[in-house]
Amino acid sequence: MTVRADNRFLDTPMRAVECRRCSARVEVRKSSWHQTSVQWDAAATAACHERPHAQPLPGPNGKFFESCSALQASIQEAALGGAVPVPDDGY
């Protein structure tokens, strides 16, 4: 069985975005205006002010934490300003 390479990162690579509130730096990739992938590292996890207070979600991904409100605003600003490219999703 051959595994197909994931070429999505060639078209829209991860970009560093810094939170305006706590300066946590995460890697971000937008697949559309409605879908965002965020990669946290240990330094960003430690810097985030909201992450330690997040309530666990039900289910197998209960410890999953996507983003805090300040980081979401920083990502949106970066996307609107062109620092994080957003593929044309046809809308």
Stretch among 22-26, 61-65, 72-76 having the lowest mean pLDDT: 61-65
Instruction: Give the SS3 label for residue 72.
Output: helix
* Whole-number Cα distances in Å, 29 to 8, 42, 52: 10, 19, 24
- For residue 10, the model assigns a pLDDT of 60
pLDDT beyond 70 at 9 = no
Backbone angles phi, psi at 80, to 5 degrees: -65, -35
What is the Cα–Cα distance from 68 to 82, expressed in whole angstroms?
Answer: 21
* Whole-number Cα distances in Å, 42 to 39, 58, 59: 10, 24, 24
* Domain spans, the chain: 13-81
- For residue 62, the model assigns a pLDDT of 62
- For residue 11, the model assigns a pLDDT of 66
